[in-house]
Amino acid sequence: MVREKKTGKLYALKCLKKKHLTHSNLENEINVLKRIKHDNVVGLEDFYESRTHYYLVMQLVSGGELFDRILDKGVYTEKDASKVIKQVLQAVSYLHENSIVHRDLKPENLLYYNTDENAKIMVSDFGLSKTLEHGVMSTACGTPGYVAPEVLAQKPYSKAVDCWSIGVITYILLSGYPPFFEENETRLFSKIMRADYAFHSPFWDDISESAKDFIRSMMEKNPTKRFTTEQALRHPWIAGDSAKDLDIYQSVCEQMEKNFAKSRWRQALHATSAINHMKKLQLSHCESPPSPDADAAAPDAAHPLDPNGNPVLRCPGPEDGQAVCPPLRASHSEPGDVHTFHSDSDAPYRPSSR
Pick the closest to residue 116 from 80, 62, 43, 66 (CA basis): 62
Which residue type sits at 72? D
Instruction: Give the integer Cα–Cα distance in Å for 57 and 180.
Output: 37
Beta-strand ranges (E) seen in the chain are 2-3, 10-17, 44-49, 53-58, 100-101, 110-112, 121-123, 130-131, 313-317, 321-325
Reduced to 3 states (helix: H, G, I; strand: E, B; else coil), residue 88 is helix
| Packing angle of the helix pair 209-218, 78-97 (nearest 10 deg) | 30
Determine whether 320 is an active site residue: no
Q: How many CB atoms lie within 10 A of CB 58?
A: 18
Instruction: Give the integer Cα–Cα distance in Å for 289 and 348.
Output: 30
Facing residues of 2 across strands? 11
State the first-to-last Cα distance of the chain, in angstroms, to the nearest integer.
42
Pick the closest to residue 150 from 169, 164, 168 (CA basis): 164
CA 264 vs. chain centroid, Å, equals: 18
Q: Which helix (H) or strand (E) holds 286?
A: helix 264-286
Catalytic residue among 39, 46, 104, 206: 104
Instruction: Please identify every residue annotated as catalytic.
Output: 104
